[in-house]
Structure 1
């Protein structure tokens, strides 16, 4: 997820890529929404016919990312980004409520923590890129956070990615049950399949175009897992899993005649198939894993969930 402030910081790169790939942006957090109905579905798109990603219960809170129009909000619910109907949310710009964890995303610099929600407040401390903190509130586009050292303050939501935990933010496994992991894996697959036909472009980070690791990275970031960039680097994420034990959502890797540890990657969807940003038809497509070309160059798999 790339926010407006980050687009400004990467202006030259955006211009260079604009001819082949449109980079998505989203506004800073608007606030907190509280579910006011018995059950509210989180959708992949702002439509009641769209894929259901999760279901929130009455009293659950979501982070409002932006107003999607036509009565819908783009939200983050338990680190899953999607859309909810605004008619079933009580929205406020300021709330003291535990949201979860956030990972600092500022590049090669530091993020100042302020005593209040704005740059006019005094600096309390600073956080290096990649630091994970607890998010305990929202105030007018700023997150109220608590560091591992017990320091409380405010940071701009533009520079914070919501994630599961310090382990989950690196794409490592967490202590969830097999059933929960399997269910989440199917959600990952459903979201990945929504991009079928999206063009392959080398260096593409989505959502209008992808390369192979850009695709896996984008899909998992949607669920709060931040993976490394590049197929070889993603070999360091998650835990190894045997080919005979593959589950939907596992990342599968391939190696051609190259010196790199891995050449290509995709997401296993079950039944001996995987979805990936392919240079075969230069688009996101489904391919066979257990027969043909990819069976011959299969390398390994990693479980992220």
Structure 2
């Protein structure tokens, strides 16, 4: 009888240990789960933008983070063993402990001194330029303890740092956008934001971003009303160092100047706007697209979700530029940037419905500009 009780007791202990181990495993997995928040998240072979594209992951894809290297995460797909590297601003980790920390944006004229202790008497250990993002580890009266990209910790005065949520940043691209308390347009409005207001993406669910405002107000917004901002030290390398391959795109596309606009046509004798982009890229730069792992869609709205989003002031020859209708934020037009603030496109304007070159920073298209992507 005693032997039986002892066996039962050992069995109970064993079961408890198994449950504890399973719980620990689940917690660990949850902390390392992440979700893709970019229209297409490039999974690369190495932790840099020059890495070969292994696979393009659609928004909402869940991955498991295995390792961190500088600003890159090594991830593995949860439904198979595919592994690669993804940039930090295109996925969100479900690690609430880490994301609960704030990050600071340096707001100083010139450079800001990073000191060894929270005092102007402290030794200067580094300098940060205006606009640099750093994690805020703690607060010490009027000082923030921060962590540099090298891993070194130091202190900066709070007067020169704007604290924001520690999530990937996006901008509102609609004239105004309601932030709802739940992912439902019928739910209560938490706050209304204006075009170009910053938001910080916490999660993604079926077409909605779970976000925080710069004032830490939480809510939900339709994903098409926000544009993800990829923050890199050298913005021109967002999609890898641009090769000379697309430097010829101006002369190549100009061969088609004057060709008529025709809805739903993709060349070679007539085009609509997205058909022109589709024809040029797939006729002359097919190998380039294949090398980058890009399958260019046919419609302008879908084309805006490939490659990497870039800011307007970082345009390079060969980038795709997108425009809305003017009365709504929905993308309705696309062209190819050819330098000098000009783009070539298939215009549908009556009396000028043909392949033309237009200015980007003045006139009709300046106010309709929506976003740009680098293939």
Give the TM-score taking structure 1 as reference length.
0.40
When normalised by structure 2's length, the TM-score is 0.33
Larger Rg: 2
